[in-house]
Structure 1
Amino acid sequence: MEALIEMLAASDPAQIMRNGRWTYAAVSGGHVLGIALLIGAIASLDLRLTGLWPTVPVPVLARVLVPVAATGLALAMMSGLLLFMAGPADYLQMRLFLLKLMLIACGTGHAVWFHSTNSFARPNAGLWRVGLLSLLIWLAVLICGRMLAFVD
């Protein structure tokens, strides 16, 4: 594992992230944009699943918001990987970072499971529980990510 961390830290992208002030800022901005797209779309859909805006059909809302959330997740993950490469050993020592990764895996898995069961077609199938759990997971991801700036 240490060899992989050293290899990542010595790679060209890692060097650019550490030494390029504007590059790091641009990638960080892309990360924030990805998070905004992801959380904004997921929160809107999850709030609908919990019962807010009952006149808006869930499948119609999902058709619009799921691609936005997926795009945000992809952007956040790609930019997050580049940010991670700037100091992989430091990040891997932070329990909060590892918790964030675990929560991202849980949130993504939860979304994939939900969409694979085609549960949007069954409006009274306990969707409020699905929406609430998803909302809590992604808010926890957001909090963990933000708190990383304040821990050693």
Structure 2
Amino acid sequence: MQLSESFQWIEALPLVRLIVIIPGLYPAISALHILGIALLVGCIATVDLRLLGVFTTKLDDALPSLIRMALTGFTVAATTGMLLVSVRIGNYAFNPAFLTKMALLLIAGTNALVLRLRAGSADVRHGLGTFRGRLAAALSLALWTSAVFSGRWIAFI
């Protein structure tokens, strides 16, 4: 199956057609996507700023909960993002801003995974006060912010 045939197949799926046909559904999914991004980036930025020492130790007990909320935000953003892309996947697949966003998301996710693995624990608090924790946090802030900017540029390219 050719790539363009695969894209046409995805765009013809019944769920994807419903997104196109039902008035208001695409904007509703888009709004959920933005809410997922807000939850993800808001929580991750808070954790990153704590790892960088910007926030005090009073936040430490909340860090595991913030990570869980960020993962929930990621799940919402990823699910809704796949639905949004499926409507015009043939266009998105060649959009430089979209491809950049996908690469940034992959790198940001890898950064988060490496931080957890290097800390030897699923608890991000083990990265507090360490060079690796601060480096991962600074990289995380830059990557997630860049992914948001790239996502906004998709419509303009």
TM normalised by structure 1 equals 0.91
Contact preservation (8 Å) 1:84, 1:91: yes
Shift of 1:23: 1.0
Distance in 2 between residues matched to 1:86 and 1:42, nearest whole Å: 29
Contact preservation (8 Å) 1:13, 1:85: no
TM normalised by structure 2 equals 0.89
Distance in 2 between residues matched to 1:30 and 1:71, nearest whole Å: 12
Deviations along 1:45-86, whole A, 9 cap, x unmatched? 11111111133354x232111011000000000000000011
Q: Which amino acid aligns with 1:121?
A: H
State the partner residue of 1:49.
51
Contact preservation (8 Å) 2:51, 2:129: no
Shift of 1:146: 1.1
The number of equivalent residue pairs is 150
Deviations along 1:118-139, whole A, 9 cap, x unmatched? 3632533212211110000000
Q: Which amino acid aligns with 1:55?
A: T
SS in structure 1 of the partner of residue 75 of structure 2: helix
SS in structure 1 of the partner of residue 56 of structure 2: coil
State the partner residue of 1:6.
8
Distance in 1 between residues matched to 2:81 and 2:34, nearest whole Å: 10
Q: Equivalent residues in 2 for 1:59-74 (5 A)? A: 60-74=61-75
Runs of 4+ aligned residues of structure 1 deviating over 3 Å after TM superposition are none
1:137 aligns with 2:143: yes
Shift of 1:109: 1.3
Shift of 1:108: 1.0
SS in structure 2 of the partner of residue 33 of structure 1: helix
Distance in 2 between residues matched to 1:6 and 1:73, nearest whole Å: 27
Shift of 1:41: 0.3
State the partner residue of 2:129.
124
Please list every run of 5 or more consecutive structure 2 residues that lacks an aligned counterpart in the other structure: none
Contact preservation (8 Å) 1:34, 1:72: yes
